[in-house]
Structure 1
């Protein structure tokens, strides 16, 4: 089991550090909890000080009653669990490929092509030569751009690229949960805009590709023919209806439904309270009542007296920062924390800064842990 710690340093930076690989006899939740406690004890740490936990979607990790997250919450109610955003995003894509046969076929075709080409050095060399010639021609004609990292051998154009920015952002160690929620909403809005506006441009792009490579173009007004040897017609359904409504619109709707189902936690009270710390648009999301409610989630950090003082601090804090030009262009809670420390306002508003730090501790994704697993084959040996 790989363990990574997420914390906020003295400069307000979010830090993620690989703590170690802990051997476990089995992967049941009790064994994993015992292993974590042993690792923490070895480094002089305590689970009682934990303020967030994040894993992938395995049942032994996120089970409601017997999962690792439940066992830790039983002993420390303030160690709030967030299901890894990156894994949830991946699951939304996987589910659509399983539910929609024609999308699944696309990925199966791609896998088959990669397997066939990759199994032969001769085939790979032929592909490289053709790709090299295509790039040279494209550069000469101005169809593609040159630059560092562009036109690489492995740079396949991403399918469903709308979620690409969201996916890439989730890999950042300094990503805060409020910003991740915002990126999720942006991705969903882009899907909706694609559904309403992008059919014509997609059809034009596909037609251009077909013309360039001498592929027959279907007449969208003709009756759609079902696949198969009999080439049966499909009871008056046109090509336009099939490709636009049964494929294009339907796949986007399925993707939106999966995003809503997989990211239901983004509407919980804790995360809604965290969103009130967002400094964008002159702290327009600020809500004193919700921030006081956020403090109640962490009784170890905020006593009854602290809660009374926090109310006054929040009143002064919002007036002070809205009137300070240094905070006018701040985007995201992570940047807010760094700026507060830089301007020493964390000394003036220590309780508000504690709220900000606690919100940053909630893990957006376990990408750091996944990178450790990916690199483990390098260090694995008999020794």
Structure 2
């Protein structure tokens, strides 16, 4: 909210193809959604990104001419000199516009109306949009009433792509809600941090016991920081448990002393929680590694698809072997901490079976504590990861089928004539509107 009570909302990124004059080639323009300037919007103060330097370069090449063409305008491409063509080929025919608007209506329709008005102000035709990308908020990416759906209704060639890193974050959110223990996990991690962060004296006790990583607060939104929060405890369980026991012995506040002792004995003193930490760290580390790769400036969609598919394969393999590996790792940590290496046995609860239940399916209450933990905690988390990744990145698979044959020269050259013609026909159909397509598959 700004001082005038209006909500500022980034409109995201729209990739547009300027309508060429006289049948000339189309160009792409990208409206950037980050790093905006806090200035009123008009055509005079719209930032042109790095390409503004190129415009000056093109003008300086022809200082003797009375008219300096915009090298990024397709209407002037036929008249460009060799140096200007080199710049165009190197930088690409695009313009980066940094724009900020004040928005009162944050519904999908309200944001779409602002987007339409802004395109008109920039003298850009909405039919020339060829790509759109926003955050994963429902008013932006909603498949029924979101901005992307309303734009697709007007222009089906404005292909929408969700933010891949945000989608990974949402996958982690889905995993954190699979069961009660999964929901409680980060709450326990935060409680451990809070015990020490409440006073400089307790923080010094922590520092006296650890030698490597300092525990971090659990962020509500930045899942990358949660990797560091879990990592500090995962790699220093014994040291942090010892620090908690020292706090419980010397702290004068009965509540703090009791909580520190409870965390040391009931959480970090339990083999089950150590196993949970090992599992969570492996999962977070794998997702965070892919997330960082997807954030690289030169990331391409074919590489992004490959990385996400690799992450799905990791979880599929981890489902089969990860639990036993986590048990072995946790046993080593438990022996170092001098605590038990078995799950606590719980009282069996007898439950009456209903007539429609399969009698061959074992009741989870009759399973061993170890198998019960695997079924109720490990399997739901991993299955949710596979399901969420597959669902959230299914859209990328569609784009791979549509554009995949153009991703690399090796892929293109590997196609026979029949496959190449079929791929071109599919692309022509995807880029068609009102009986007209951006390409001719027969060319």
TM-score by length of 2: 0.55
- Partners of 2:196 and 2:202 within 8 A in 1: yes
- Partners of 1:60 and 1:68 within 8 A in 2: yes
Pair 1:162 & 2:286 matched? yes
- Partners of 1:224 and 1:242 within 8 A in 2: no
Aligned-residue Cα RMSD (Å) equals 3.5
Indicate how the Cα distance of structure 1 residues 75 and 248 shifts in structure 2: closer, same or farther if over 3 A, else same.
closer
Pair 1:273 & 2:402 matched? yes
* Residue aligning to 1:191: 315
SS in structure 2 at match of 1:11: helix
Task: Map residues 94-105 of structure 1 onto 2, 5 A cutoff.
Answer: 94-105=173-184
Pair 1:25 & 2:104 matched? yes
- Give the deviation of 1:274 after TM superposition: 1.8
* Residue aligning to 1:249: 379
Q: Deviations over 1:297-349 (max 9, x none)?
A: 22489567x3321xxxxxxxxxxxxxxxxxxxxxxxxxxxxxxxxxxxxxxxx
SS in structure 2 at match of 1:51: strand
Pair 1:2 & 2:135 matched? no
* Residue aligning to 1:54: 133
Q: Distance in 2 between matches of 1:259 and 1:16?
A: 33
Q: Distance in 1 between matches of 2:95 and 2:428?
A: 24
Q: How many residues align?
A: 281
Task: Map residues 268-307 of structure 1 onto 2, 5 A cutoff.
Answer: 268=398, 270-279=399-408, 286=415, 287-288=419-420, 289-299=422-432, 302=437, 306-307=440-441
Q: Deviations over 1:10-36 (max 9, x none)?
A: 436798956122110120223212322
Q: Deviations over 1:21-79 (max 9, x none)?
A: 21101202232123223433444444332211122333322333432112222332211
* Residue aligning to 1:205: 329
Which of the numbers 342, 345, 354 marks the counterpart of 1:224? 345
User: Which has the bigger relative contact order, CA under 8 A and spacing at least 6?
Assistant: 1
- Partners of 1:13 and 1:174 within 8 A in 2: no
SS in structure 2 at match of 1:204: helix
* Residue aligning to 1:178: 302
SS in structure 1 at match of 2:99: strand
Unaligned runs of 5+ in 2: 1-8, 16-28, 31-87, 214-226, 232-280, 350-363
Unaligned runs of 5+ in 1: 136-152, 229-233, 310-383
- Give the deviation of 1:227 after TM superposition: 11
Greater Cα shift, 272-281 or 81-90 = 272-281
Q: Deviations over 1:338-372 (max 9, x none)?
A: xxxxxxxxxxxxxxxxxxxxxxxxxxxxxxxxxxx
Indicate how the Cα distance of structure 1 residues 75 and 199 shifts in structure 2: closer, same or farther if over 3 A, else same.
closer
Q: Deviations over 1:255-276 (max 9, x none)?
A: 21222233332343x4312222
